[in-house]
Amino acid sequence: MKGRIKISSALISVFDKTGLEPLIKKLKSFGVSFYSTGGTETFIKGLGHSVTSVESITEYPSILGGRVKTLHPKIFGGILNRQEEASDQSTIKKFGIPQIDLVIVDLYPFEETVFSGAKESEIIEKIDVGGIALIRAAAKNFKDVLCVSSKEYYSDFLSMLEENKGETSIDDRKNFSVKSFLTSSNYDSAILKYFQKNEKLTLRYGENPHQKGEFIGPIEKMIEKISGKDLSYNNLLDIDAALNLMSEFKNEKTSFGIFKHTNACGFATRSNTKKAYIDSLAGDPVSAFGGILISNSEIDLETANEINSLFFEILISPSFSDKSKKKLLEKKKNRVLIVLNPEYNLPKKNFRSCLNGTIHQTRDNHTDSIENLNYVTNLKPSKNQIEDLLFGSKISKHTKSNTIVLVKNKQLLGSGTGQTSRVDALRQAIEKSKKFKFDLKNAVMISDAFFPFPDCVEIAQKEGINSILQPGGSINDHLSINYCNKNNLSMVFSGIRHFKH
């Protein structure tokens, strides 16, 4: 692999000539020869510099109204040949292919054309083919070629030219290669977004009524809205949160959850849907007002009669009996009822906008189970306590951090959500539990992360909580373990942290 390469030749093909003149002048001062076509060729000649036309190299004119200009082996061979490969050099010599050290491209303004409200035929013509191919070829062969893929990078390139006196280093070429693939990726994403317009759902509004929102994707593969008003941005976030938690109970006994601002404010597993709903509602009947409801079993008439008195935004279920649909929509036609696709699969990755880009991560697919529990105290939790701890762990995993979840008999008693202090999260969970008349004696506590100090364990024990699940991993784990042993509490470590931001 070569280190420094002197730029001897450049292929320049840009739609927008803004900012190009200083580059041409600087390159010419270093003795660089130019290859170009069409408007860019005319522009360079207008600056008083000689330029070799692409057509004179390919011996083929620009055809199809300019759709095909640079797509030719003599152009791409000049970009993609490997200068250290003897066979490549023999080939380009045999066919009279010029070596190209630098490619400068500015793509057709596809997004700008879309936003202008242009006709589809005009938009299609602004899908750059030759330019994007030049970028990918030059970026791929960064060992020998530097690619400037957008006028956004002209300033960086000009500074590099001046500093290196017309030469490029391997680090320079690789750096611009990364920029080029970013240009290519963003351009293709814009085109995909345009063609996915049939999969675009215009939302009632964004996070607030003055914001616009849209969802792009095959939403019908996950859910089907069978009644009610258009969904909003917040609705979809809540639906997503509800689905993610309920997916943990997909093949388990009847479970019901109530969500507010993406956190479960009520959740219970029971023998039938009606009981599960009643005990879920009991967890926080105040927050349930205007909430998102979800069940992992059919909504029957008995359950619908119970739910009917609650004002809610959305009810999600695998199915609704005909009688339950009639009851729920009898007097409130705008109620949103959503049927879950039984074959729905959650994405394997999570994406989020961040700064001036996106971040992504693999989905948290780990569900705590009895097999990964580490019993760290003298007293071991009972079978029922273990069931409650694992039930609560699923809820904790899908609650905003810092969180503490309190559970008894597979019912969410209270949770502290999104607190900056774990102690505050516990105090909030206790306060909510007491507010709705729950007895915390023999309840269990679940934490999404370790306890750096034994304060939470001490507070929990004084409230009657007698079994705890946490991931462990603090240098002070022994302090919490010692407190549990002295006060006859059981505690298990899961070994896995479940932060959610």
The length of the chain, given as a count of residues: 501
140 catalytic residue (yes or no): yes
Q: Say if residue 475 is exposed, middle or buried (CB neighbours under 10 Å; 0-12, 13-18, 19+).
A: exposed
Among 60, 39, 68, 59, residue whose Cα is nearest residue 51: 39
Among 239, 244, 240, 217, residue whose Cα is nearest residue 228: 239
Q: Say if residue 357 is exposed, middle or buried (CB neighbours under 10 Å; 0-12, 13-18, 19+).
A: exposed
Do 403 and 448 meet the contact criterion of CB atoms below 8 Å apart? yes
C-alpha dihedral sign at 328, 329, 334, 338 = positive
498 catalytic residue (yes or no): no
- Distance between CA atoms of residues 308 and 322, nearest Å: 15
Catalytic residue selected from 28, 140, 174, 275 = 140
Catalytic residue selected from 26, 261, 323, 380 = 261
Residue 200 backbone phi and psi in degrees, to 5: -95, 125
- E strand spans, 346-391: 349-354, 357-362, 374-375
On the CB side of 82, CA atoms within 13 Å amount to 7
Among 391, 444, 389, 449, residue whose Cα is nearest residue 421: 449
Which positions are annotated as active-site residues? 140, 261
